[in-house]
Amino acid sequence: MAIKKQIDKPYDYFNKAIALLLSLLIFIVPLFFGLNMNSLDIQKFACFHTLLIIILWCWIAMIVFSGQIQFRWSPLCWIVLVYIAVNIAATICSVNPWVSFLGFYGHHEGLLSLISYLLLFFITINFIDKAKIPWILNAITLSCVAAGAYGVIQRLGLDPVKWELFNAGRCPSTFGNPIGLGNYLSFGLIAGFCLYLLSLTNKPTTQPVPKKIKGTQKIAAASPSTPLTNLKYIYPVFLILMYLGFCTSQTRASYLGLFGGLVLICGLFWRAFLKKEVLVVAGIIFIITIGFNLNPETSMFLRFKQAVIELSTKAAQPKQSQEKQEKQERIEGQQTGPARFFIWKSVSNIVRANPILGTGLDTLGIVYPQYKSIESARAEGAYAVAASAHNELLDIAVSSGLAGIFSYLYLLVFLCIIWIKAYRAFPDQRLYLCAIGGGMIAHFIQNQFSPTGIADSCAFWVMLGLMVSSTTDKMQTIKLNWLNDGLTKILIMIAAIAGGIAFWIYLVIRPCIADFNYEQGTLLQGNMEMEQQAIYRFERAVKYNPHEIQYMRELSAFYINKAQVSPQKEILETSIKQAQTLTKFNPYDAVGHCIIGASYYLLSKINEASLSQSLSPYQQAIKVDPLNPDPHNCLGLVYMEMKDYPKAIKEFKEALRADVSYSVAVNNLHRTYIEQGKIEEAIAAYKELLRIDSGIRSVLLREKLVDAYLRLGRQIEAKKECEAIKKLDPENVVAKQVDR
């Protein structure tokens, strides 16, 4: 008996240590950030994976020293594994398996992240039992309190760290953007509110409890109050701090998610809301809400109103005249078309083209330009690239196709069934279950409008694990008799430590070093005196992370920009070599193809290549990004120099189809018509392009129209066009000169 206790003792130590480490992970990852703000997710993933490796080492040590594996299992685990298997298949069949494994830059939701979340799920199941569920909920709550308080500090202008804000009224706290703050705080608000209700319903314990002293059974009086009861005065402060931070994020999707999660709690515990303590907290939160909405800069009501206007505009758009639309744009000072709907339309094109397993995890940023709709290009901008569909289900459909969607929806449906059964079966766990269920509802709702970050992904997978551990007490045991050998134990521990260190160096430390060098390079590249230092930084970024498209693209662009200032054969050949490496790794990279085309074009200027060699790269760039104006304009320029005017005109028009303000293409198109002497055709072409956009962006196009009228001696029409220009740009120089 004594031997068994000795064996169980280290097992219990490891068990508690892992539970504490998991709570620390949940607490610290959302708050962690470094001085490099270029890609905050890389730093958060570094923190996450470092703690995850330590937890896995502890788990392996526990198994080695105990000679057995103890684990909980549930049918939900099988469904999660099916979902993971579908994503593994999607990664193998991906348009770019490396990107699908590691994740797209600035998004990092590849298979590596998914496997890490899966490990987090199983760690939660095996080391967080019913008694430890409050550990996790309190870790989330405390993390959100710190993040919310920091958001308030930013709002007051007291933050020493210079963050890149979306606008002055939205605070990012430790997340780098306000969406991440709002999304994660919804978890904390729901968890904290349920813990607060639990502290109010937890009555002081007066029943005596048995206590053994030196082998004798004695009765000791219990404490007059439990810890949760003592916290009932602290949780309201936590809730108010979190909500203040939540309001500073001004994220509409997070408000919808929080509302959805609270509906579950209100529906099941509506009587608790009648307590005077809850009513006081609710009143304070209501006053805070009114205060924020009275200020136009922080008003969430105005942001929701804007969304409603966008929806109504979209519904009325086919019937709305061009003049009314132009007037509306001038009144609001921005484009009224709801760009997010256009993104969804473009993404649906990708899903239809790749229905079974999608294009691979986190590859939307690669394939999006190929399928982007013309409406999306005009609404977002011709160069816009979407790394996320801003809709979780569409993101899954793109990443892993219909197989991924069905497996994910089946997982959610099964999760709902388990939750309902658990709620009926365990009355003492109901508030904990509401915290878990409410958090998941909030996560699902907000993810249909805003992208997921690492903080709320970790929280989601941990809560998924809590659903299993809250409903399953029984532990299954597998004896590993072969672990009785001392040498085997040593070899396994050495392999585990070596594997963890190797993973940490190559997939945690090296990406951080690479991103630091990339950021330094971007800061130095505009300084001619620091040119060599900038290129050194970009080369180191590629060296330390050779599978990152962004770094390869920046290095290639640096060489071509340098060659444009002073065309030299050696620099241009290096530019081609770097761009070919990029396009070999990612054949869908239009920038890489354009750089190759531009390099051959410049080589032809110094008689080191033929002009025709630049045609193929530009055509390939158009193939992978049809609405990008750059390759169309460059290809048109090549055709113009080859005296193939019809093809040149066609390409310049294509460049302007997505962006009528693209000045280089406007000038080239005008120059081509002038060289041909086809002024009437030029006028017809400009009028046709003006139908696309007759607003402020088309002023340059109207200026060329004025020039064409003047060349034909049609003064009256030229002056009429000048009047139209002055309405859009009162200080326009061309219009003033013609009036004179």
Mean pLDDT of the chain: 85
Average pLDDT value for residue range 164-176: 71
Position 476 scores a pLDDT of: 84
What percent of the chain is helix, strand and coil (3-state, nearest 5)? 75, 0, 25
Position 440 scores a pLDDT of: 94
Residue 4 has pLDDT above 60, yes or no: no
Nearest CA-CA partner of 706 in 682, 672, 675? 682
Residue 273 has pLDDT above 90, yes or no: no
**Which of 502-506, 630-634, 689-693 has the lowest average pLDDT?**
689-693
Provide, rounded to the nearest whole percent, the portion of the chain with pLDDT above 90: 54
* 28: confidence class by pLDDT, cuts 50, 70, 90: very high
Position 61 scores a pLDDT of: 92
Greater model confidence, 584 or 565: 584
* Burial (0-12, 13-18, 19+ Cβ within 10 Å), 4: exposed
Q: Which residues contact 729 (CB under 8 A, 6 or more apart)?
A: 696, 699, 735
* 619 and 635 Cβ atoms separated by less than 8 Å: yes
* 337: confidence class by pLDDT, cuts 50, 70, 90: very low
Greater model confidence, 229 or 396: 396
The Cα angle at residue 724 between residues 721 and 726, in degrees rounded to 5: 110
Position 733 scores a pLDDT of: 82
* 565: confidence class by pLDDT, cuts 50, 70, 90: confident
Greater model confidence, 107 or 366: 366
Strand partners, 218: 211
Position 407 scores a pLDDT of: 96
Average pLDDT value for residue range 685-695: 86
Q: What is the torsion angle, in degrees rounded to the nearest 10, for the CA atoms of residue 267, residue 269, residue 274 and residue 275? A: -160
Q: Which residues contact 595 (CB under 8 A, 6 or more apart)?
A: 556, 557, 559, 560, 575, 576, 578, 579, 582
* 538 and 554 Cβ atoms separated by less than 8 Å: yes
* 137 and 463 Cβ atoms separated by less than 8 Å: no
Residue 740 has pLDDT above 80, yes or no: no
* 238: confidence class by pLDDT, cuts 50, 70, 90: very high
* 297: confidence class by pLDDT, cuts 50, 70, 90: confident
Fold classified for 499-739: 1.25.40
Segments making up each domain of the chain, as ranges = 2-318+330-481, 499-739
Indicate left, alpha or beta for 187 from its phi (over 0: left) and psi (-120 to 50: alpha).
alpha
Which structure tokens are listed for 226?
A: 């439990």
* 52 and 46 Cβ atoms separated by less than 8 Å: no
Provide, rounded to the nearest whole percent, the portion of the chain with pLDDT above 70: 88
Average pLDDT value for residue range 662-678: 91
pLDDT digits (tens, 9 = 90+) for 72-96: 888 999 999 999 999 999 999 999 9
Q: What is the pTM of this model?
A: 0.88
Greater model confidence, 60 or 7: 60
* 229: confidence class by pLDDT, cuts 50, 70, 90: low
Measured CA to CA, the distance from residue 61 to residue 65 in angstroms comes to 6
* 194 and 187 Cβ atoms separated by less than 8 Å: no
* Burial (0-12, 13-18, 19+ Cβ within 10 Å), 383: middle
What values do phi and psi take at 164, rounded to 5? Answer: -95, 95
pLDDT digits (tens, 9 = 90+) for 404-455: 999 999 999 999 999 999 999 988 889 999 999 999 999 999 999 887 789 9
* 220: confidence class by pLDDT, cuts 50, 70, 90: very low
Indicate left, alpha or beta for 342 from its phi (over 0: left) and psi (-120 to 50: alpha).
alpha
